[in-house]
């Protein structure tokens, strides 16, 4: 079996790719929100979804295990916040968020796996 080459940049990480896809989906979703939500839910869900991918990117470059894990944990927190806003958008009948929620769950699983791999890496 061929050994997989380690990621060279954060863009090589599947977890980042999926988090970026989630952020793009959130931006598309918020275009349909009522204008009065511009400085409320629209702004908040955009910020939290972008924070997921941004913290994965920033954490990727950190050298120490604890530093790296701190940024990935912040990404987890931002992901939970994004999930809440997706629930809110659905409950307010602004958007059907099922597909975005599924993507958020996938990002969460990938992020958890990535964190566990770093925690268990004895070469760190």
Query: Which CATH number covers residue 108?
Result: 1.20.1440.60
Q: What is the DSSP string of the chain?
A: -PPPPPPSSGGG-HHHHHHHHHHHHHHHHHTTS-GGGTTTHHHHHHHHHHHHHHHHHHHHH--SHHHHHHHHHHHHHHHHHHHHHHHHHHHTTS---HHHHHHHHHHHHHHHHHHHHHHH-TT-
State the pLDDT at residue 2. 52
Range of the domain at 66: 43-124
Identify whether 59 is part of a domain: yes
Domain count, the chain: 1
In tens digits, the chain (124 residues) has pLDDT values of 455 678 899 999 999 999 999 999 999 999 999 999 999 999 999 999 999 999 999 999 999 999 999 999 999 999 999 999 999 999 999 999 999 999 999 999 999 999 999 999 877 6
Contact residues for 102 (Cβ-Cβ < 8 A; gap 6+): none
Q: How far is it, in rounded angstroms, from Cα 114 to Cα 35?
A: 38
Residue 7 placed within a domain: no
Assigned domain for 53 exists: yes
9 falls within a domain: no
Q: Residue 3 has what pLDDT?
A: 55
pLDDT reported for residue 4: 65
């Amino acid at each position: 079996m061929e050994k997989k080459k380690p990621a060279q940049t954060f863009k090589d990480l599947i977890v980042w790719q999926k988090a970026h896809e989630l952020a793009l989906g959130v931006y598309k979703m918020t275009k349909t929100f009522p204008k009065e939500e511009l400085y409320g839910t629209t702004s908040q869900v955009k910020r939290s979804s972008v924070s997921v991918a941004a913290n994965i990117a920033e954490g990727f470059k950190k050298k120490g295990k604890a530093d790296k894990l701190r940024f990935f944990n912040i990404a987890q927190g931002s992901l939970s916040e994004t999930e809440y806003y997706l629930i809110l958008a659905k409950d307010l009948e602004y958007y059907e968020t099922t597909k975005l929620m599924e993507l958020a769950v996938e990002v969460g699983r990938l992020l958890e796996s990535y964190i566990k791999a770093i925690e268990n890496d004895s070469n760190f």
